[in-house]
Amino acid sequence: MTASMEKKGSKQSNSSLSGFAAVVSGLLERLPYGKLTLYQPDGEKLVYGREHSVHGKEHPRGRYVEAQIKVLDNNFFSRVVMFGHIGFAESFMDGEWQTDDVASVVAWFLLNLSDNPLLEGTGNKSILVNALGALNQLLHLFKFNNKDNSRKNISYHYDLSNDLFELFLDETMTYSSARFSDDWLLSLKDAQISKYEALCRKLKLKEGDSLLEIGCGWGGFAQYAVSKYRIKYTGITISKEQLAYAEKAFEKLPELSGLFEFKLIDYRDMKRAMKPEGYDKIVSIEMIEAVGDEYYDAYFAKIDELLAEDGLAAIQMITCPDNRYDLIRKNTDFIQKHIFPGSLLPCLHRISKATSLTRLSLFEVEDLGNSYAKTLFTWQERFEAQLKRVGELGFDQVFVRKWRYYLSYCAAAFAMRNISVVQAVYSRPNNLNLCHSSFLERFAAPKNFESIGEVII
């Protein structure tokens, strides 16, 4: 397949391209699905892919992925060749290319994932691309999540500015996937509350329960659970900004005094001796992405240690496909370099391996992938509507484009189901709180041994 090429309405040969531009064009020609239109700085238009083809099948217009890129600076081509998909993103950050919809561009590349020469581990990986990518990988290796690095990694993102996050999050200040499963038309706030209630329901939360939240964020779940269920709540974080915000929010709720506490502490420093009977319930909402492969075992071992014998633990986590986990683990992407240093998306197989070293057993799983795509698109709309205020907070245009790319990049990945998010509930065998009441009644009913009769073997 070759790209069609136009300049002022006339067809031209692909041979008119030279240098890095020719390399990039040759690589894009390998991607067969959907349609990408690329405009060069001199006005030439190149079209890649087959418009109506997805996985070898013809689709009506509107059912395939179509995207366009307008290159403003030829430096774009060299950055893509030198640094692959990270160079592609950084070129956007620096204003070297633009598009009417970043998410559609990302979706087009994801649609062609198995043939994508810009990514590691694909069938068409090119030795010409990402020649200097080892530099990004080396930087990422230095951000592994020991206790000191974890604080730095979390602070890099979550301590940017509480005022910034208030611009695009809803009133609950919840920075994790909402839950639109029951009603796609819910407001963002109501969908976040739906997520909170789903977790409380899965935890079988009741008044008087002790609950530990690992990674309490700005305290949104804490406010909901304590207010509605009157539980005894403990939240831990390593973000000073989030801790201060959560504590201040609860100062406005004197009726909840004595029912909550927040601690600035790493989860690894929590000890059973702090609460000898253990916590009745443990929840962790999209914190595991900051744990890292080398600490998954320790993370679940700590949950096992802190959870009461008949307790329940609910973990909301972003996941990647099992068959791509090792590739993702061994490489570095835009999110890890520019948004969440030290982060890694687990796969369910790796999580199962970690929990197999504990007494924890998986009890329930719910997928919320589509809900996260909608959450991210909503965040982006709210962010874009507040650009003037973003500037007033001191963030420049490079930052704006970086976040535009970040939100779009993630939204497309969830929408195309290349990654997902799940709520997983864990307990231990013989937890009678999980038995249906009819079974308990049967097991506990008085037995008339005289009526059993003679047992014939």
Token pair recorded at residue 353: 């391996």
Instruction: Please say whether the beta carbons of 241 and 157 come within 8 A.
Output: no
Supply angle C-alpha 36, 42, 48, rounded to 5.
Answer: 15
Beta strand ranges found along 185-306 (DSSP E):
210-214, 232-237, 260-264, 279-285
Q: CA-CA distance, 443 to 439, in Å (whole number)?
A: 6
Tokens of 281: 């319930």
Q: How far apart are CA 118 and CA 101, in angstroms?
A: 20
Which amino acid is located at 354 in the chain?
A
Name residues whose C-beta falls within 8 Å of residue 170's C-beta, 6 or more positions apart in sequence. 187, 188, 189, 192
> What is the three-class DSSP state of 38?
strand
Contacting residues for 156 by C-beta, under 8 A, at least 6 apart: 340, 341
Q: Could you tell me which of 111, 29, 26, 40 has the C-alpha nearest to residue 75? A: 40
Q: Which residues contact 307 (CB under 8 A, 6 or more apart)?
A: 278, 279, 282, 313, 360
* DSSP at 451: G
DSSP of 157-174, one letter per residue? HHTS-HHHHHHHS-TT--
Contact 175, 239 (CB under 8 A): no
Radius of gyration of the CA atoms of the chain, in A? 25
Q: Please answer whether residues 416 and 110 qualify as being in contact, where contact means their C-beta atoms are separated by less than 8 angstroms.
A: yes
CA dihedral 48, 51, 53, 59 (to 10 degrees): 170
122, 116 in Cβ contact below 8 A?
yes
> Which tokens sit at 243?
């801790």
DSSP 3-state of 78: helix
The catalytic residue positions are 410
